[in-house]
Amino acid sequence: MTNGDFIAIIRPVPDSIGDCELTHLDRTPIDLDRARSQHVEYASVLSSLGCRVIELPALHDHPDSVFVEDTMIVLDELAVMTRPGAPSRRDEVHSTAEVMETFRPLVSIEPPGRIDGGDVLRAGRTIFVGCSSRSDEVGLAQLREIIEPVGYNMVQVDVHGCLHLKTGATALDDSTILCNPAWLDTSAFTGFDLLEIDPDEPFSGNVAQVGSHLIADATWTGTNQRLEDDKRAIALVQLTELAKAEGSVTCSSILFPENP
């Protein structure tokens, strides 16, 4: 697959981002202009890697709406509209769904189930799903019933130290996981190769995969060096402002192959 086969759905940084949900971080002022210029640069990196970038309309009344990843789980066969764990985020899902239905058949997580896309990590035909403060057993059971019949193996991972599973672990390819072992029980990844982050950079376990390339936050020089030493092709972005809203690289887009 070439990178050009990928779609990246994004949404602009809303005026209200300063009122975002925060779970593990204290609130610090977000520079809106800088957040926007970093987000524009993020979009241009996606384009430079060959993604077709689709920008959804801004949702200024939804402070976390730039973090589109949490609204949708896209697999080869179908897409799952999530039911975000934070009630303030539930209405973000509808406008993402309007665009997604042109690419995949849509199914949805139903109340009272809760799942955020940030808790769903795909590596090949394995889907790791975090049970976190946002995603619960009811939501996970619904997801299992949706994805196992289409041939995915779902593995539950208990998440304690961070917001989402993908805050602490992301896939580098179909068989390798970048992870922060301080935040996750790595026994969930048995059978996969693990690359540990630089322990001085706990938030560096989140990278986005676009074909043979990775997008990584330039802030995390130690972990990025480990990725380079592992012969990974990396494109760097700066997301210091969205990081204050507990966001990172994957959360700001929904990335998927147009024709898997």
Q: Using CB under 6 A as the criterion, which residues of the chain lie in contact with ligand CIR when the complex forms? A: 20-21, 23, 64, 67, 69-70, 86, 89, 118, 163-164, 167, 245-248, 251
What does the alpha-carbon distance between residue 204 and residue 169 come to, in Å, rounded to a whole number? Answer: 9
Provide the minimum distance between the beta carbon of 149 and ligand CIR in the complex, in angstroms, as a whole number: 26
Asked if residues 206 and 249 have their Cβ atoms less than 8 Å apart, the reply is yes
Q: Do the Cβ atoms of 136 and 142 come closer than 8 Å? A: no
Q: Which is nearer to ligand CIR, 89 or 114 (CB)?
A: 89
**Which tokens hold the place of 90?**
């539930």
**Residue 229 C-beta: closest distance to ligand CIR, Å:** 26
Our answer to whether residue 51 is catalytic in this structure is no
Closest CA to 201 of 227, 180, 232, 229: 180
- What's the min distance (Å) between Cβ of 4 and ligand CIR? 25
**Closest by Cα among 222, 224, 212 to 249:** 224
Nearest residue to the partner ligand CIR, using Cβ: 118
Nearest CA among 39, 41, 67 for reference residue 254? 67
Does 164 participate in catalysis according to the annotation?
yes
State the catalytic residue, choosing from 20, 164, 179, 213: 164
Least distance in angstroms from the C-beta of 252 to ligand CIR: 8
Q: What are the residues facing 41 on neighbouring strands? A: none
Our CB check for ligand CIR shows the closer of 12 and 247 to be 247
Q: What CA–CA distance (Å, rounded) separates 11 from 31?
A: 18
Among the listed residues 20, 131, 162, 251, the single catalytic one is 251
**CB of residue 23 to ligand CIR, shortest distance in Å:** 6
| C-beta of 133 vs 224, nearer to ligand CIR | 133
Looking at the annotation, which residues are catalytic? 164, 251
